[in-house]
Chains A and B, each alone.
Chain A
Amino acid sequence: MTDLTPPAGFVRPGNASESRPSYDGRAGALAGLILWTTLLTWATLTIYRFWARTRLRRYLWSRVSFLGDRLEYTGTGGELFRGFLIAAVVVVLIFGSLSLVELMVENEFLAGILTLLHYGLLAAGAAAGRFLARRYRLTRTRWRALRGNLGEGLGGYLGLYAGWLIVAAFSAGLLTPFMRVALERHLLNATWVGNQRLRCDARGRRVIGVWLLIYFFSIVVVGLAALPATLLVNQATALAPQYALDPVGTGVAAVVVGMLLAAPIVMLLYGVYCVAEFRALCAGTSVGAVRFSSDLSPTAVMAPILVYGLPLLATAVATVVAGLSFAIDDLRSAAIPASAVAILLFLLWRIASVVAWTHSLAARVIPSISVSGAFDPGLLMQNAGPVPRRGEGLAEMFDVAG
Chain B
Amino acid sequence: MSATVAAARYFDGVSARPQYVQVTASEAGLVFVAENGLRQIWAAAEIRRIPGEKGDRELRLTALGSAATLEFADARLLDLLRGTVPDLEERSRLTRRWLRRIAGWTAVGTGVVAAAYFLLPYLAGFLASLVPQSWEDRLGDRLLPVVVEALKQPGDSGRACSDDRALRPLGRLVGQLAAAGGLPRRPDVQLLDLRMRNAFALPGDRVVVTRGLVDFMESPDELAAVLGHEFGHLKHKDAVAGVIRYLGWDALASVVLGTGITASLGRTLALAANGRAVETRADGYAVATLRTAGLDGKGAASFMQRMATSEGMDLGYMSSHPPSADRAAAMAAGAASGRAAMTAGEWAALKRACD
Q: Which of A55, A72, A104, A397 contacts B135 (CB 8 A)?
A: A104
Q: In B118-153, which residues have CB < 8 Å from any A CB?
A: 135, 138-139, 142
Flag whether A248 is at the interface (Cβ < 8 A): no
If A89-B255, A96-B251 touch, whether A144 touches B69 (CB-CB below 8 Å) is yes
Of the stretches A6-14, A148-156, A223-231, the one at the interface is A6-14
B269 cross-chain contacts in A, Cβ below 8 A: none
| B309 on the A face (CB < 8 A) | no
Determine the chain A residues whose CB is within 8 A of the CB of B68 once the complex forms.
145
A76 to B90, CA, bound (A): 12
Number of A-B contacts (CB under 8 A): 127
Contacts of B260 in A (CB 8 A): 46, 399
Partner-contacting stretch, out of A177-185, A275-283, A306-314, A377-385? A377-385
Bound Cα distance from A88 to B259, whole angstroms: 10
> Given the interface contacts A378-B17, A381-B14, does A106 sit within 8 Å of B51 by beta carbon?
no
Task: Tell me the residues in window 3-57 of chain A with beta carbons closer than 8 Å to chain B beta carbons.
Answer: 4, 6-10, 29, 43-49, 51, 55
User: Which residues does chain B contribute within 8 Å of A219, judged by CB atoms?
Assistant: none
Residue of A49, A58, A85 ringed by the most chain B CB atoms within 10 A: A58
What 0/1 pattern do residues 51 to 91 of A give for CB contact below 8 A with B? Answer: 10001001100110000001010001110010011001101
- Give the residue of A8, A62, A382, A397 whose beta carbon is less than 8 angstroms from that of B13: A382
Q: Does B179 contact A (CB under 8 A)?
A: no
Question: B20, A6: Cβ atoms under 8 Å?
Answer: yes
Contact B254 A47 (CB under 8 A): no
B305-332 with Cβ < 8 A to chain A: none
Q: Name the contact of B53 in the complex, choosing from A45, A63, A381, A396 (C-beta under 8 A).
A: A63
Q: Is A212 interfacial (CB 8 A cutoff)?
A: no
B102 within 8 A of A: yes
- B110 surroundings in chain A (CB, below 8 A): 45
Cβ contact within 8 Å between B69 and A145: yes
**1/0 per position for B231-265, CB-CB distance to A under 8 A?**
00000000000000001000100111111101000
- Stretch of B4-12, B80-88, B296-304, B345-353 lying at the A interface: B4-12
A1 within 8 A of B: yes
Query: Complex formed: what's the CA distance from A144 to B68 in Å?
Result: 8
Q: Name the distance in Å between A77's Cβ and chain B's nearest Cβ.
A: 7
Q: At the interface, yes or no: A135 with Cβ under 8 Å from chain B?
A: no
Shortest distance in angstroms between A97's beta carbon and chain B's nearest beta carbon? 11
B 70-82 to A, binary, CB cutoff 8 A, 1 in contact else 0: 0001100000000
Query: Whole-angstrom distance between the alpha carbons of A9 and B105 in the complex?
Result: 46
B105 touches A47 (CB 8 A): yes
Q: Return the contact of A62 from the options B19, B53, B62, B94 (Cβ within 8 A).
A: B53
| B86-104 with Cβ < 8 A to chain A | 94-95, 98, 102-103
Bound complex: CA A70 to CA B95 (Å) = 21
Q: Which residues of A contact B256 (CB under 8 A)?
A: 45
In the complex formed, the residue of A with least CB distance to B19 is A4
Q: What is the CA–CA distance of A58 and B258 in the complex, to the nearest angstrom?
A: 23
Q: Are A106 and B138 in contact (CB under 8 A)?
A: yes
* Distance between A283 CB and nearest chain B CB, rounded to angstroms: 24
CA distance A100 to B9 in the complex (A): 60
Q: Is B67's CB under 8 angstroms from A397's CB?
A: no
| Interface status of A166 (Cβ within 8 A of chain B) | no
Q: Is A380 touching B16 in the complex (CB atoms < 8 A)?
A: yes
Knowing A58-B51, A381-B15 are in contact, say whether A147-B67 is a contact too (CB < 8 A). Answer: yes
Closest Cβ of chain B to A137, distance in Å, is 17
Q: Could you say which residues of chain B place their CB within 8 Å of the CB of A77?
A: 94-95, 98
B251 lies within 8 A of A377 (CB):
no
In the complex, per-residue mask of A124-140: 1 if CB is within 8 Å of any chain B CB, else 0:
00000000000000000
Inter-chain contacts of B52 with A (CB < 8 A): 62, 70
Q: Does A114 sit at the interface, judged by CB under 8 A? A: no
A76-B15 contact, Cβ under 8 Å, with A45-B262, A84-B258: no
Which chain B residues lie closer than 8 Å to A58 at the CB level? 51
Contact of B175 with A by CB under 8 A: no
A6 and B73 alpha carbons, distance in the complex (Å): 12
The one of B7, B13, B138, B139 that contacts A10, using a Cβ cutoff of 8 Å: B7
Cα-based distance from A29 to B52 in the complex (angstroms): 13
Distance to closest chain A CB from B248 (angstroms): 10
User: Once the chains are docked, how many angstroms separate the CA of A344 from the CA of B280?
Assistant: 41
Is A198 among interface residues, defined by CB-CB distance under 8 A?
no
Residue of A nearest to B254 (CB): A92
Q: What A residues does B53 contact at CB under 8 A?
A: 29, 59, 62-63
A146 interface contact, C-beta 8 A: yes
Q: Is the CB of B98 within 8 A of A78?
A: yes
CA distance A9 to B258 in the complex (A): 48
A55 to B99, CA, bound (A): 13
Determine the chain A residues whose CB is within 8 A of the CB of B19 once the complex forms.
4
| Complex: chain A residue closest to B67, CB-CB | A145
- Asked whether B34 is an interface residue with its Cβ less than 8 Å from the other chain, the reply is no
**Given known contacts A103-B142, A381-B16, A146 and B67 CB-to-CB distance under 8 angstroms:** yes
Cβ of B109 within 8 Å of any chain A Cβ, yes or no, is: yes
Q: Does A304 contact B (CB under 8 A)?
A: no
B40 at interface, CB cutoff 8 A? no
Of A48, A81, A142, A380, the residue contacting B67 (CB under 8 A) is A142
Instruction: Determine whether the beta carbon of A55 is less than 8 Å from that of B139.
Output: no
Contacts of B94 in A (CB 8 A): 51, 76-77
User: Contact: A146 with B13, CB < 8 Å?
Assistant: yes
Measured between alpha carbons, how far is A397 from B251 in the docked complex, in Å? 12
Contacts of B50 in A (CB 8 A): 72
| A44 and B101 alpha carbons, distance in the complex (Å) | 11
Chain B positions near chain A (C-beta within 8 angstroms) = 7, 9, 11-20, 50-54, 60, 62, 67-69, 73-74, 94-95, 98, 102-103, 105-106, 109-110, 135, 138-139, 142, 247, 251, 254-260, 262
Interface residues of A (CB under 8 A from B): 1, 4, 6-10, 29, 43-49, 51, 55, 58-59, 62-63, 70, 72, 76-78, 81, 84-85, 88-89, 91-92, 96, 99-100, 103-104, 106, 142-147, 194, 377-382, 396-399
Instruction: Using A1-B17, A45-B262, A63-B53 as known contacts, list a sample of 5 further A-B pairs with CB atoms less than 8 Å apart, ordered by residue number in A.
Output: A6-B20, A59-B53, A72-B50, A104-B139, A378-B17
13 A-B pairs with C-beta separation under 8 A: A29-B53, A45-B110, A45-B257, A51-B95, A51-B102, A70-B52, A88-B258, A104-B139, A146-B16, A377-B18, A378-B16, A396-B259, A397-B254
